[in-house]
């Protein structure tokens, strides 16, 4: 496949918006109307406190998982089913790699605006410095500036967006990107085992992957009760690894209709199930009998699916006095992959929950619209009459 096809420029684009960081620098109390969320979306006061439930979000020991520890594998299954989110510790990514990655992001956002603007999203591109998911001049905006880069495979990188002003920037990404890929692949390997396949089963199904990074900078906000750092959404990928600030909380996940904060754990990585995982890698209890019902061909994956692993809505709130940084590392399937449930898995007892769709079409659909919880999956692949 030619590298041109992989540049990401056909993934869609986002309308240009002002830098929030600059807005705050010029007047920390100014809050333009476009950032004030509708009442229903505002983070109400109880959300801002650490509720006891945040400590229920599963914490997995990655080293045990990689060793095939049965209890840890069961915890992974439960985490994907009950929460769609979990944190991993003992993940083996050296602390130095994490610190350098976070420092590189901080250094990027500290650059003067003129310098950052050298890496601004081109008119037809999703990559670069700017914001994502802005589809209209009317929609509410996130209190956030973003640098979005496709990081793997190497040949599809568009280095014009890589901040070469910062000498350590490329190296920091290089090292973290490699480690993050290993961790994501190991988690997928364990999910394959949970599906009754061998470790490579899932990977054979989704084929080659692409990795992209979304570096988020959330400036402090004088009215954190009125704005959102990033609006509620699910990630349109297979799996996401998130590095969040060790000190400043912000991430919240929707669990049983409540917004639960994900309490930062030093050096931990937050993992979440993406939309593609929900469509591709779900199974009902009948499948756990060890049957390998996942069938794959070069461009067509047919998966038995009945809605067990869910990509969960999440969002980030802002802090009144401190800026917060986070890094989401996405694992995407390749553009041509056709996703959908397998015909032989659909019968009177197991109604089809998803249609089929080329992944690129799904990605373009979702990236070309404002974030809206799980509406994008519901409006495309999800079959409306489905009960869940
Ligand atoms: O900053 C966060 O905690 C969440 C970021 C996120 O969800 C994303 O970039 O997709
Ligand atoms: Fe996300």
The closest residue, in CA terms, to atom 1 on ligand 1 is 326
Ligand 1, pocket-test mutation among 242, 243, 261, most atoms within 8 A of CB = 242
pTM score of the predicted model: 0.88
Helices (H) and strands (E) in the chain, counts: 11, 16
Q: Label residue 288 by pLDDT band (50, 70, 90).
A: very low
> Quick check: CB of 264 below 6 Å from ligand 1?
no
Q: Which residues keep their CB under 5 angstroms from ion ligand 2?
A: 235
> Quick check: CB of 326 below 6 Å from ligand 1?
yes
The closest residue, in CA terms, to atom 5 on ligand 1 is 328
**Ligand 2: distance of its center to the CA of 215 in Å?**
11
Ligand 1, pocket-test mutation among 148, 326, 374, most atoms within 8 A of CB = 326
**Ligand 2: distance of its center to the CA of 380 in Å?**
19
Cα distance from N-terminal residue to C-terminal residue, the chain? 38
pLDDT of residue 346: 55
Look at the alpha carbons of 255, 260, 265, 267 in this order and tell me if their dihedral is positive or negative. positive
Residue by residue, DSSP assigns 282-341 as: ---GGGGGT----EE-SSBEEB---S-S-PPPEEE---SS--EEEEEEEEEEPTT-EE-B
Q: What is the pLDDT of residues 122-152, one digit of tens each?
A: 877 889 999 877 878 888 999 999 999 999 9
Q: What is the pLDDT of residues 199-251, one digit of tens each?
A: 887 787 788 899 999 999 999 999 999 999 999 999 999 999 999 999 999 99
pLDDT of residue 267: 96
Q: What rounded mean pLDDT belongs to the chain?
A: 84
**Ligand 2: distance of its center to the CA of 353 in Å?**
23
Q: What is the pLDDT of residues 148-200, one digit of tens each?
A: 999 999 999 999 999 999 999 999 999 999 999 999 999 999 988 887 778 88
Segment 100-121 shows an average pLDDT of 97
**Ligand 1: distance of its center to the CA of 377 in Å?**
18
> Quick check: CB of 235 below 6 Å from ligand 1?
yes
Q: Report which of residues 179 and 255 the model is more confident about.
A: 179
Q: Report which of residues 256 and 64 the model is more confident about.
A: 64
Q: What is the pLDDT of residues 12-42, one digit of tens each?
A: 777 888 999 999 999 999 999 999 999 989 9
What percent of the chain is predicted at pLDDT more than 90?
57
DSSP H or E segment with residue 209: strand 209-218
Segment 276-304 shows an average pLDDT of 43
Q: What is the pLDDT of residues 9-18, one digit of tens each?
A: 577 777 888 9
Q: Report which of residues 195 and 259 the model is more confident about.
A: 259
**Ligand 2: distance of its center to the CA of 233 in Å?**
6
Cα of 184 vs its chain's centroid, Å: 12
Domains within the chain, CATH numbers bracketed: 20-380 (2.60.120.330)
The closest residue, in CA terms, to atom 3 on ligand 1 is 251
CB within 8 A of 373, min separation 6: which ones? 232, 233, 234, 254, 313
**Ligand 2: distance of its center to the CA of 317 in Å?**
12
The closest residue, in CA terms, to atom 6 on ligand 1 is 328
């Amino acid at each position: 496949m030619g590298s041109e096809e992989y540049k990401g420029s056909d993934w869609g684009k986002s309308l240009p918006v002002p830098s929030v960081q600059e807005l705050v620098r010029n007047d920390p109390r100014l809050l333009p109307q476009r950032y004030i969320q509708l009442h229903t979306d505002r983070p109400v006061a109880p959300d801002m406190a650490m509720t006891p439930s945040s400590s229920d979000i599963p914490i997995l020991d990655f080293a045990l998982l990689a060793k095939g520890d049965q209890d840890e594998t069961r915890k992974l299954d439960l985490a994907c089913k009950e929460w769609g989110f979990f944190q991993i510790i003992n993940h083996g990514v050296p602390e130095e790699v994490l610190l350098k990655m976070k420092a590189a992001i901080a250094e990027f956002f500290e650059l003067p605006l003129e310098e950052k603007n050298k890496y601004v999203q081109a008119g037809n591109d999703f990559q670069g410095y700017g914001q994502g998911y802005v589809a209209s001049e009317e929609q509410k905006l996130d209190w956030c500036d973003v640098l979005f880069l496709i990081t793997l495979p190497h040949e599809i990188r568009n280095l014009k967006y890589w901040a070469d002003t910062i000498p350590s920037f490329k190296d920091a990404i290089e090292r973290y990107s490699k480690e993050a890929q290993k961790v994501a692949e190991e988690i997928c390997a364990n999910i394959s085992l949970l599906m009754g396949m061998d470790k490579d089963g899932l990977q054979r199904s989704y084929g080659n992957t692409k990795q992209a990074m979304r570096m988020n900078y959330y400036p402090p906000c004088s009215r954190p009760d009125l704005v959102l750092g990033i609006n509620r959404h699910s990630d349109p990928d297979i799996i996401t690894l998130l590095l969040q600030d060790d000190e400043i909380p912000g991430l919240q996940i929707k669990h049983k209709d409540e917004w639960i904060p994900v309490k930062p754990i030093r050096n931990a990585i937050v993992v979440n199930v993406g939309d593609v995982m929900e469509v591709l890698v779900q199974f009902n209890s009948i499948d756990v009998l060890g049957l390998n019902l996942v069938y794959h061909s070069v461009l067509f994956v047919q998966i038995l699916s009945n809605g067990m692993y869910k990509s969960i809505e999440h969002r980030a709130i802002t802090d009144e006095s401190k800026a917060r940084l986070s890094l989401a590392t996405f694992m995407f399937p390749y553009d041509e992959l056709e996703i959908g449930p397998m015909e032989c898995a659909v019968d009177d007892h197991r109604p089809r929950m998803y249609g089929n769709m080329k992944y690129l079409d799904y990605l373009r659909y979702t990236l070309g619209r404002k974030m809206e919880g799980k509406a994008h999956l519901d409006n495309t692949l999800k079959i409306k009459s489905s009960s869940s």
